[in-house]
């Protein structure tokens, strides 16, 4: 290609001056826009939201936020306390008010704030003894019962907060959230307010929401924290420190109760806390540019069952203030939307390391074994949560919760914080039923005290039946494995004599014996055991009125038994199954050396139907497997609330029987239980399948009151002869050594 001379090149080149003019014309609007943008930034006012605490009343924040969103008002900063911190943190992560409403309505908050462990998820070895007491106290090093520091340790709440905030693990500083966030708590020792601006968002929220006496103080970095509302329930000054020019406050804490509404210690405790909160709060409200206080007089701080109504009340109150809200917006020069690289839906976490904190007697390796998580794998927040629940269900830990810590290589360290269960517990039982009358009991539980991975339960029971039981189990394995068991006991009880299957008279007796067994177990599936036993019964000769019973007798033998359970509740099940079977070969001595064998089994099934009710069925069978007639000292008692309810307890006995039950069970409300059903019974001196006899029938109606201390059951039955029978029990009417007995 020929080269061009200077003149030719000049002609072909654009005019330099013209080019400069064109560039200037293009640059002018850009510069103007840039200047306008800079001016807006410089003159824009930063708006902060201050969200107060208030327990369940705090869900009103969501209703207020919905209205503010509709008006196009969004915060530059958020500061929250207690439940206000939880709502504020999720909002700061980028969730809308509608998102928050959907979240909160989906969660079971009554379950979250409690320490409810789903019975169906417990390890099978724990189910044999759970529950074992109405009220349980920890024992200190001096064996003195300790009053709990709180009603709940809130492990369920810890795990749910982890799941809700897991995406925040991608950042370390709360100012890097889509909306910069800050929350506060109160140092229990110094009484000073503490702010959280970085680290684990879950831990910060858990510290802020530690309501005194309701939740256990939250331990973090050597400090104990309680609810932030104690020091400052409306963190307005924190917003000013962050750079907010204007503050919009939402106040949802309870108002002080009137005298007529202070009826118990819970009300008085709540009032005491609110006095301090209210006094502290009034000192800060004056610097709030706009205060929205929803009308929540119809709601208490514990009304977690009315979340939707509370949200609606917050929305309605905000709409009633719509003129003030719009006037407030006109005074604002809102900042442009903040753009930040944050994925609120992040839920895949490659785990590089697993670290355990807080363990004393349980090794870190054993904790990781309980979790079932491995390094080098990617897990979701739900998978990590379920792993912690699985470990918690072992009942080795009082609390266990995770924290995700991001590394420089985009992988995560999983930090697992545990608090081990105390080794020593004392349980107090008070039980009434119209069969045994009033009974009181003390149960001493020693977990991993004598040997690692062992439990010893000692029980002293006084009242309608006097007993002393000592049950010791040593496990080899955690979730599955083998065990050996030792069970010595002594009991004073009433023995009933039967003629033609019906009770004729009774006599007091004393029985002592020992059972021992070896077995295998599989996590939450089943137990199988081979056992031996020996017992001696002595009648009280001074009150004996019957010549049919020997003064002294000995029964010994061996057998095998198995147990499976997946019920959702011990006292009021609505789903799951329970199956128990036992075969034993025995020698009945003193009167005569007689060898006999027997089988007894029971199977219960509950199938829920559309969360409305459950269909219930039960099959109960027992038989002496030879021609031996029922011994008077080793009978099958087939009547009562645990058998055929058409007869009173101990009224009927037989060596061969079959009971079939079917009915409908339902939790008609949070606390009340209804049970309706029918039963059929046949029994005989011979094998009922070889010599069937007529069936007997009865119908029953049961009512229950469900609570964690003294559940109440009342059953009324009507048999074919139109005889009415009633059965009443108050407290856990259970034999915690049911599986251990022969």
Q: pLDDT band at residue 40, thresholds of 50, 70 and 90?
A: very low
pLDDT of 579 over the 80 cut: yes
Would you state the structure tokens that stand for residue 712, as one six-digit string? 């109440």
Q: pLDDT band at residue 29, thresholds of 50, 70 and 90?
A: low
Q: What is the pLDDT of residue 15?
A: 43
* Whole-number Å distance between alpha carbons of 551 and 509: 9
Q: What is the pLDDT of residue 19?
A: 38
Beta-carbon neighbour count of residue 567 at 10 Å? 20
Would you state the structure tokens that stand for residue 736, as one six-digit string? 């915690």
Residues in the chain: 742
pLDDT in tens, 354-398: 999 999 888 899 899 899 999 999 999 999 999 999 899 888 899
Q: What is the mean pLDDT of residues 651-660?
A: 91
The residues, ordered by sequence, that sit 6+ positions from 256 with a Cβ below 8 Å of its Cβ are 271, 274, 275, 278
Q: pLDDT band at residue 255, thresholds of 50, 70 and 90?
A: low
pLDDT of 5 over the 50 cut: no
More confident residue, 28 or 362: 362
Q: What is the DSSP string of 682-717?
A: EEESS-TTTS----EEEEEEEEEE--SS--EEEEEE
Give the pairing type, strands 656-667 and 672-684. antiparallel
Q: pLDDT band at residue 402, thresholds of 50, 70 and 90?
A: very high
Q: What is the pLDDT of residue 741?
A: 84
Q: What is the pLDDT of residue 264?
A: 62
Q: What is the pLDDT of residue 121?
A: 82
Q: pLDDT band at residue 344, thresholds of 50, 70 and 90?
A: very high
More confident residue, 640 or 32: 640
More confident residue, 168 or 435: 168
Sheet containing strand 349-357, edge to edge, reads 378-379, 349-357, 412-420, 397-406
656, 688 contact by CB (below 8 A)? yes
Q: pLDDT band at residue 36, thresholds of 50, 70 and 90?
A: very low
The percentage of the chain sitting over the pLDDT mark of 90, rounded to a whole number, equals 52
pLDDT of 165 over the 60 cut: yes
CA–chain centroid gap for 713, Å, is 23
pTM (predicted TM-score):
0.80
349, 380 contact by CB (below 8 A)? yes
Alpha helices for 380-506 (secondary structure H): 381-392
Q: What is the pLDDT of residue 426?
A: 94
The residues, ordered by sequence, that sit 6+ positions from 201 with a Cβ below 8 Å of its Cβ are 89, 165, 168, 169, 174, 181
By C-alpha distance, which of 700, 573, 720, 588 is closest to 641? Answer: 700
Helices (H) and strands (E) in the chain, counts: 15, 30
Q: What is the pLDDT of residue 316?
A: 96
Q: pLDDT band at residue 282, thresholds of 50, 70 and 90?
A: low
pLDDT in tens, 11-25: 434 343 333 434 444
pLDDT in tens, 203-237: 999 999 998 878 889 999 999 999 988 888 888 98
CA angle 100/103/106 to nearest 5° reads 145
Q: What is the pLDDT of residue 627?
A: 52
CA angle 571/674/156 to nearest 5° reads 50
Q: Is the dihedral of CA 630, 635, 636, 639 positive or negative?
A: positive
Cα–Cα distances (Å) from 87 to 126, 152, 198, in that order, read 37, 21, 17
The residues, ordered by sequence, that sit 6+ positions from 82 with a Cβ below 8 Å of its Cβ are 52, 53, 54, 55, 58, 208, 209, 211, 227, 228, 229, 233
Q: Which residue has the tokens 């469900």?
A: 706
More confident residue, 300 or 197: 197
* Whole-number Å distance between alpha carbons of 86 and 163: 13
Residue 258: HSE in the Cβ half-sphere, 13 Å Cα cutoff: 2
Q: What is the pLDDT of residue 625?
A: 78
The residues, ordered by sequence, that sit 6+ positions from 592 with a Cβ below 8 Å of its Cβ are none
pLDDT of 691 over the 90 cut: no
* Whole-number Å distance between alpha carbons of 341 and 424: 50
pLDDT of 687 over the 80 cut: no
CA angle 723/724/730 to nearest 5° reads 150
The percentage of the chain sitting over the pLDDT mark of 70, rounded to a whole number, equals 86
Q: What is the pLDDT of residue 540?
A: 80
Q: What is the pLDDT of residue 692?
A: 63
Q: What is the mean pLDDT of residues 463-471?
A: 90
Q: What is the pLDDT of residue 630?
A: 46
* Whole-number Å distance between alpha carbons of 230 and 281: 10
* Whole-number Å distance between alpha carbons of 495 and 500: 16
Would you state the structure tokens that stand for residue 364, as one six-digit string? 């870190």
Cα–Cα distances (Å) from 419 to 92, 107, 415, 609, in that order, read 30, 25, 13, 38
By C-alpha distance, which of 593, 509, 530, 588 is closest to 556? Answer: 588
Q: What is the pLDDT of residue 13?
A: 40
Q: What is the pLDDT of residue 100?
A: 96
Q: What is the pLDDT of residue 41?
A: 46
Q: pLDDT band at residue 273, thresholds of 50, 70 and 90?
A: low
Q: What is the pLDDT of residue 132?
A: 87
CA angle 99/103/108 to nearest 5° reads 165
Q: What is the pLDDT of residue 265?
A: 56
More confident residue, 633 or 296: 296
- DSSP structural state of residue 215: B
Q: What is the pLDDT of residue 304?
A: 86
Beta-carbon neighbour count of residue 293 at 10 Å? 17
Q: What is the mean pLDDT of residues 82-94?
A: 96
By C-alpha distance, which of 425, 358, 339 is closest to 397? Answer: 358
* Whole-number Å distance between alpha carbons of 692 and 680: 13
Q: pLDDT band at residue 326, thresholds of 50, 70 and 90?
A: very high
Q: What is the mean pLDDT of residues 105-115?
A: 84
Q: What is the pLDDT of residue 9?
A: 42
Most confident among 150-154, 407-411, 585-589, 650-654 (mean pLDDT):
407-411
Average pLDDT, the chain: 85
53, 229 contact by CB (below 8 A)? yes
Residue 353: HSE in the Cβ half-sphere, 13 Å Cα cutoff: 9
pLDDT of 82 over the 80 cut: yes
The residues, ordered by sequence, that sit 6+ positions from 558 with a Cβ below 8 Å of its Cβ are 530, 531, 532, 533, 584, 585
More confident residue, 676 or 117: 676
Give the pairing type, strands 526-539 and 502-522. antiparallel
Cα–Cα distances (Å) from 249 to 130, 179, 180, 266, in that order, read 47, 16, 16, 28
Give the pairing type, strands 349-357 and 412-420. parallel
Please provide residue 284's backbone torsions phi and psi, each rounded to the nearest 5 degrees: -110, -15
497, 632 contact by CB (below 8 A)? yes
* Whole-number Å distance between alpha carbons of 664 and 605: 11
* Whole-number Å distance between alpha carbons of 200 and 412: 13
Q: What is the pLDDT of residue 37?
A: 45
501, 681 contact by CB (below 8 A)? no
Least confident of 50-54, 382-386, 470-474, 541-545: 541-545
Cα–Cα distances (Å) from 183 to 50, 196, 293, 538, 572, in that order, read 10, 6, 20, 69, 41
Least confident of 21-30, 48-57, 356-365, 671-680: 21-30
446, 424 contact by CB (below 8 A)? yes
Most confident among 27-36, 428-437, 553-562, 681-690 (mean pLDDT):
553-562
By C-alpha distance, which of 207, 159, 185, 195 is closest to 77? Answer: 195
Q: What is the mean pLDDT of residues 568-573?
A: 89
By C-alpha distance, which of 481, 489, 428, 426 is closest to 452? Answer: 481
Alpha helices for 209-264 (secondary structure H): 236-242
* Whole-number Å distance between alpha carbons of 238 and 194: 11
Q: What is the mean pLDDT of residues 335-364?
A: 89
- The secondary element (H helix, E strand) that includes residue 196 is strand 193-196
pLDDT of 474 over the 80 cut: yes
Q: Is the dihedral of CA 291, 295, 296, 297 positive or negative?
A: positive
pLDDT of 57 over the 80 cut: yes
Cα–Cα distances (Å) from 358 to 209, 220, 376, 549, 680, in that order, read 21, 11, 24, 59, 55
Q: pLDDT band at residue 254, thresholds of 50, 70 and 90?
A: low
* Whole-number Å distance between alpha carbons of 350 and 378: 4
pLDDT of 500 over the 90 cut: no
């Amino acid at each position: 290609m020929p080269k061009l001379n200077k003149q030719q090149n000049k002609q072909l080149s654009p005019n330099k001056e013209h080019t400069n003019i064109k560039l200037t014309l293009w640059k002018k609007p850009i510069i103007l826009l840039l200047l306008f943008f800079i001016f807006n930034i410089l003159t824009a006012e930063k708006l902060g939201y201050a969200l107060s605490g208030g327990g369940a009343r705090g869900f009103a924040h969501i209703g207020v936020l919905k209205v503010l969103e509709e008006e196009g008002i969004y915060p530059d900063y958020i500061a929250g306390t207690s439940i206000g911190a939880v709502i504020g943190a999720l909002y700061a992560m980028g969730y809308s008010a509608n998102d928050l409403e959907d979240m909160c309505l989906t969660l079971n908050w009554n379950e979250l704030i409690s320490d409810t462990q789903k019975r169906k998820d417990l390890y099978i070895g724990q189910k044999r003894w759970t529950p074992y007491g109405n009220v349980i106290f920890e024992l200190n090093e001096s064996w003195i019962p300790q009053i709990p520091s709180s009603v709940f340790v809130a492990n369920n709440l810890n795990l749910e907060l982890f799941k809700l905030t897991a995406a925040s693990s991608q950042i370390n500083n709360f100012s890097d959230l889509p909306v910069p966030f800050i929350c506060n708590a109160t140092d229990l020792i110094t009484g000073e307010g503490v702010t959280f601006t970085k680290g684990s968002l879950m831990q910060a929220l858990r510290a802020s929401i530690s309501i005194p006496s309701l939740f256990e103080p939250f331990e973090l970095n050597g400090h104990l924290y309680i609810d932030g509302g104690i020091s400052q329930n409306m963190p307005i000054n924190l917003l000013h420190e962050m750079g907010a020019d204007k503050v919009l406050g939402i106040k949802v804490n309870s108002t002080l109760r009137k005298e007529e509404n202070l009826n118990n210690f819970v009300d008085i405790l709540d009032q005491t806390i609110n006095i301090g909160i209210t006094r502290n709060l009034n000192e800060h409200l004056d610097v709030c540019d706009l205060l929205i206080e929803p009308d929540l007089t119809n709601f208490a701080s514990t009304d977690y069952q009315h979340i939707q109504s509370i949200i609606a009340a917050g929305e309605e109150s905000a709409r009633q203030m719509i003129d003030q809200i719009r006037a407030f917006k006109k005074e604002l020069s809102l900042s442009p939307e903040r753009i930040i690289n944050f994925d609120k839906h992040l839920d895949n976490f490659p785990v590089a390391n697993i670290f355990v904190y807080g363990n004393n007697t349980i090794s870190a390796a054993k904790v990781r074994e309980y979790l079932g998580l491995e390094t080098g794998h990617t897990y979701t927040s739900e998978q990590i949560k379920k792993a912690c629940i699985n470990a918690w269900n072992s009942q080795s830990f009082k609390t266990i919760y995770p924290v995700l810590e991001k590394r420089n290589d985009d992988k995560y360290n999983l930090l697992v914080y545990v608090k081990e269960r105390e080794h020593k517990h004392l349980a107090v039982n008070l039980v009434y039923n119209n069969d045994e009358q009033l009974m009181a009991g003390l149960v001493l539980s020693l977990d991993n005290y004598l040997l690692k991975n062992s439990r010893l339960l000692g029980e002293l029971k006084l009242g309608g039946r006097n007993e002393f039981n000592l049950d010791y189990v040593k496990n080899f394995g955690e979730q599955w494995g083998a065990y050996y068991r030792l069970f010595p006991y002594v009991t004073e009880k009433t023995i009933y004599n039967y003629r033609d299957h019906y009770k004729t008279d009774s006599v007091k007796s004393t029985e002592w014996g020992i059972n021992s067994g070896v077995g295998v177990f599989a996590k939450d599936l089943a137990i199988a055991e081979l056992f031996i036993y020996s017992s001696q019964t002595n009648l009280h000769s001074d009150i004996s009125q019957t010549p049919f019973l020997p003064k002294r007798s000995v029964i010994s033998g061996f057998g095998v038994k198995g147990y499976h359970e997946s019920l959702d509740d011990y006292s009021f099940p609505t789903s799951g199954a329970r199956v128990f079977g036992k075969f034993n070969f025995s020698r009945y001595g003193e009167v005569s050396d007689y060898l006999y064998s027997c089988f007894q089994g029971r199977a219960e099934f509950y199938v829920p139907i559309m969360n409305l009710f459950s269909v219930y069925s039960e099959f109960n069978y027992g038989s002496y497997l030879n021609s031996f007639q029922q011994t008077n000292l080793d009978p099958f008692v087939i009547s009562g609330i645990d058998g055929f309810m058409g007869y009173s307890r101990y009224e009927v006995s037989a060596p061969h029987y079959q009971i079939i039950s079917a009915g409908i069970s339902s939790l008609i409300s949070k606390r009340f239980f209804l049970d309706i059903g029918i039963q059929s019974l046949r029994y005989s001196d011979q094998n009922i399948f070889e010599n069937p006899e007529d069936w007997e029938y009865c119908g029953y109606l049961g009512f229950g009151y469900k609570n964690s201390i003294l559940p109440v059951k009342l059953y009324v039955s009507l048999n074919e002869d139109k005889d009415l029978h009633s059965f009443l029990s108050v407290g856990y009417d259970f034999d915690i050594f049911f599986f251990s007995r022969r």
